[in-house]
Amino acid sequence: MDQLTAHDPRRIGPFEVLGRLGAGGMGLVYLARSAAGRRVAIKTVRGELAEDQLFRVRFAREIAAARTVSGFYTAAVVDADADAAVPWLATAYIPAPSLEDLVTECGPLPVATVRWLIAGIAEALQSIHAAGLVHRDLKPSNVLVTEDGPRVIDFGIAAGVSHTRLTMTNVAVGTPAYMSPEQARDSRGVTGASDVFSLGSLLVFSATGHAPYHGANPVETVFMLLRESPDLSGLPQDLAPLVKACLRPAPERRPSPAQIAAELGPHLYASGDGGEDDSREWLPPSALALIDAKRGRRTPPPPPAQAPIPDPGPAPTPVPAPVAAPVGATGVDPRTEAAPKVLLPGVPSPIGPGVRVPAGEPAPPVMPPGTGWVRKGGAHAAPAPVAQQAAQPAAQPAAQPTHVAQAAQAAPWRPWRFRMSHDVWGSPVVADGVLYVTSFEVHALDIASGRRRFRTGDVAWALAVADGRVHAADGPNLFTLHAADGSERWRVALDGWTYTLDAAGGAIVAGTRGGGVQVRSAIDGSEMWQAKDAQQDYENSLSGPCVLGDSVYYYGGGRLRSVELTSGQLQWALPLGEDVPSRPVLHRGVVHVCNGTRVLALDEATGQERWRFDAPVALFTSPVVTEEGVFFADYLGTVFALDTATGSLRWHVRTGGRQGADPVVLAGGVLLVSSGDTVHAFDARTGAEHWRYAARAELAGVPASADGLVHVGSRDHSLHTLDLATGRLRWKLDTGGEITGTPVAADGKVFAFSKDHCVYALDAALGTATKQP
């Protein structure tokens, strides 16, 4: 369970919220408790669903039906409110691992265990179907395993989602690896037989450790589901007849949950005497240990609210902070944003095992035996024997002498890290010697010293930095700060909730929910023009309005529009169809855009098509355009290189195993593509593969490259730096959490965010090491 952030609610309906359990397709899930101390799991609804009135109607209907579901193998609905500003549903909290966790940790389960689990899930489906519901998302993570049987959760909710407008915008309802073929074609008309197909898929997963359909990505998985036979490798022969019956393509030929339970019953209780419950005997010891460990966890009380931390002045006296852990060391300093940490090689971590430091309190250094840090004017000198330290006077909080401050400023730059009180969002923004970080508020960190210059007093959901100004939006309000000291220049209320900002040419372009485009002066915030016909299906920073040259580009009503930046005059509108295009790219008077499976090159002035290229698979990200070519990758991992002038195909190559839609990166004639846990490097001229590098887990964001180096973040909690020419590892930093967003390389430094709430500033070539003066 994760701790609550400042943005999370403290109460939902009559329940006190204790922490975050996770996130699902519908929204966030919280652990909460009633006035009587009963714990519940509360699932909240995402904003775009909450704004859909049709969803609210169906959600209320499904809640009413879900309340009627009874049965030993389901998690009971406790309370709900479909009319709340943020609709929610509370079910009984079950402290147990999911089937997914159980199989992942313990491996494929014995035949007897699988039969016992599937019989319980089949009984749960009988209760769900009897209430007139279809689960629609029966998968390993939606089945909790206790010592006395499985519990099916999230029943009846996917039905409400499947009938909303989201279904019409290519948002999948269900999980491809476990859904039925008819659900993959149209989730709105499925019956209980679809859940039986999913039950057969669960059976395969439980007995083999893999799903019957497992492509490299969701699109490929659906393709396999509709056209290929299931993968039953490793399935015990005793279970094969039931699996094949459940996975029949024709829904009417599949057995009912009651028939499945009846078939499995004789295997389970033929030798039972009807006496004492022996349910624990069905689970292997490793599974019971995992269940017992989950049950033994206790929820910590919510942390007390922290008092605001006073900001240092615009020009604080540099005071080097305590030394941090070396590369690969564990343990993260839990201090707050007020003090950055200098990273030095070969020095023990200042936080020892089991030592907890309250937020806002200084962390006691942990030193090698017989040594310690000698304070001289507030700076940390080299380690000295403990005996010598006795004669040293205690550090005083008085201001440093001027010559000490000057010496500190003249010292070589050292890597540092800065700990936030909350999660860090997105990727770092670097401008004019300042690192801008979004952690609810915007924090401006001085790159030279690692100290914070200022922070905003408001939450920032969108951020843009340009021309010495910091522009941010807290939702309905747009405000601009002076980049030097954070002083507010102006503030205006916008007509709508801002989800993206772009700034250039003395203007700010805001995308607001509901199809709004608002353009304001960056100087005083006065309105220049606005439009209300932008697309509403994918309102995010990658598909929102943007500034290129002297024009604003946005998509809506099936058309890509080019509008003059200052006057708002329409220059041209090109019909593109229903597929939302990627963010356009401008190169030498030509606008390049990916739209569905097409790449289009358009005249900047007229919108006239110069050329087009048709790809076999959907393209979700912008191309990279240079004189060397037009480069992009499709969803399945094929990388393409086109001629910039004609759009003709120069080469293409498959990477395989691609998990998402990250763009390609071009650096020094090398094309970098992230695919799953691997970075591929191709020659931009020929497509020949130079090298590939595999991390220990899936990559986060896209590679960042500068000065012959490649920086890659990974969910293995590490930042990897590679040689661009050879792909060899130069250095690696292990942090206390997953690397988030995309690293940024600039001026011989690399900046990265981690889920340990830390911002890292490192020497691009040496990591935590420092160059000799």
Confidence of residue 631 (pLDDT cuts 50, 70, 90): very high
Q: Where are the alpha helices (DSSP H) in 524-653?
A: none
390 CB burial (10 A radius; 0-12, 13-18, 19+): exposed
pLDDT, mean over the chain: 80
Provide the pairing of β-strand 341-343 with 323-324: parallel
* 316 has pLDDT over 80: no
Cα separation, 454 vs 483, in Å, equals: 9
Q: Tokens for 449?
A: 């010293």
Q: Tokens for 330?
A: 């564990």
Yes or no: say if 759 and 435 are a contact pair by the CB < 8 Å rule: yes
Cα angle value 151/152/155 (rounded, 5°): 150
In three-state form (DSSP H/G/I as H, E/B as E, the rest C), the secondary structure along 28-60 is EEEEEECCCCCEEEEEECCHHHHCCHHHHHHHH
Look up the pTM and report it.
0.54
Cα angle value 528/530/531 (rounded, 5°): 155
Select from 405, 338, 395, 355 the least CA-distant residue to 372: 395
The binding site for ATP comprises 43
**Partners of 587 in the beta sheet?**
590
Cα separation, 277 vs 241, in Å, equals: 29
In this predicted structure, what is the pLDDT of residue 133? Answer: 84
Select from 114, 163, 165 the least CA-distant residue to 134: 163
In this predicted structure, what is the pLDDT of residue 496? Answer: 86
User: Is 137 a known active-site residue?
Assistant: yes
End-to-end CA distance of the chain: 46
Which range, of 79-88, 326-335, 404-413, 693-702, averages the lowest pLDDT?
326-335
Confidence of residue 626 (pLDDT cuts 50, 70, 90): very high
Rounded to an integer, the average pLDDT of 244-262 is 93
In this predicted structure, what is the pLDDT of residue 561? Answer: 97
Which tens digits make up the pLDDT trace of 59-79?
787 788 777 776 677 887 888
Which range, of 107-116, 256-265, 592-601, averages the lowest pLDDT?
256-265
What amino acid occupies position 731?
W
Sheet containing strand 516-521, edge to edge, reads 498-504, 507-512, 516-521, 527-531
Which range, of 135-139, 251-255, 367-371, 445-449, averages the lowest pLDDT?
367-371
Going by the DSSP 8-state scheme, the letter that residue 269 receives in this structure is H
Which range, of 135-139, 236-240, 683-687, averages the lowest pLDDT?
135-139
- CB proximity list for 50: less than 8 A, separation 6 or greater: 56, 85, 86, 87
Confidence of residue 298 (pLDDT cuts 50, 70, 90): very low
* 363 has pLDDT over 80: no
The DSSP code sequence of 694-724 is E-SS-EEEEEEEETTEEEEEETTSEEEEEET
Greater confidence (175 vs 196) lies with: 196
Q: Where are the alpha helices (DSSP H) in 135-279?
A: 157-162, 181-185, 192-208, 218-227, 240-246, 257-269
- Residue positions counted in the chain: 773
Confidence of residue 553 (pLDDT cuts 50, 70, 90): very high
In this predicted structure, what is the pLDDT of residue 679? Answer: 93
Select from 551, 602, 606 the least CA-distant residue to 576: 602
SS3 395: coil
Confidence of residue 588 (pLDDT cuts 50, 70, 90): very high
248 CB burial (10 A radius; 0-12, 13-18, 19+): middle
What amino acid occupies position 637?
G
In this predicted structure, what is the pLDDT of residue 209? Answer: 93
In this predicted structure, what is the pLDDT of residue 117? Answer: 94
Gyration radius (Cα) of the chain, Å: 29
* 621 has pLDDT over 60: yes
The binding site comprises 43
Cα separation, 414 vs 592, in Å, equals: 41
Confidence of residue 410 (pLDDT cuts 50, 70, 90): low
* 740 has pLDDT over 90: no
Yes or no: say if 279 and 291 are a contact pair by the CB < 8 Å rule: no
In this predicted structure, what is the pLDDT of residue 174? Answer: 64
In this predicted structure, what is the pLDDT of residue 296? Answer: 65
Rounded to an integer, the average pLDDT of 337-353 is 40
541 CB burial (10 A radius; 0-12, 13-18, 19+): middle
Which tens digits make up the pLDDT trace of 17-42?
998 887 766 678 889 988 888 888 88
Which range, of 158-167, 247-256, 325-334, averages the lowest pLDDT?
325-334
pLDDT above 90 covers what percent of the chain? 48
Yes or no: say if 681 and 670 are a contact pair by the CB < 8 Å rule: yes
Greater confidence (206 vs 310) lies with: 206
Which domains, from first to last, does the chain contain? 11-267+280-295 (1.10.510.10), 456-581 (2.40.128.630)
Confidence of residue 341 (pLDDT cuts 50, 70, 90): low
Rounded to an integer, the average pLDDT of 422-446 is 90
Highest mean pLDDT among 195-199, 273-277, 331-335: 195-199
Confidence of residue 431 (pLDDT cuts 50, 70, 90): very high
Burial pattern 626-652, b for ≥16 Cβ within 10 A else e, equals eebbbbbbbbbbbbbbbebeebeebbe
Which range, of 102-111, 334-343, 685-694, averages the lowest pLDDT?
334-343
Question: Residues 8, 81, 137, 537: which is the catalytic one?
Answer: 137
Confidence of residue 279 (pLDDT cuts 50, 70, 90): low
Residue 731 CB neighbour total at 10 angstroms: 19
Going by the DSSP 8-state scheme, the letter that residue 315 receives in this structure is S
In this predicted structure, what is the pLDDT of residue 121? Answer: 94
Which residue, chain included where needed, has tokens 């022969």?
A: 237
Yes or no: say if 506 and 522 are a contact pair by the CB < 8 Å rule: yes
Confidence of residue 403 (pLDDT cuts 50, 70, 90): very low
Yes or no: say if 643 and 629 are a contact pair by the CB < 8 Å rule: yes
Greater confidence (765 vs 769) lies with: 765
* 530 has pLDDT over 70: yes
Confidence of residue 50 (pLDDT cuts 50, 70, 90): confident
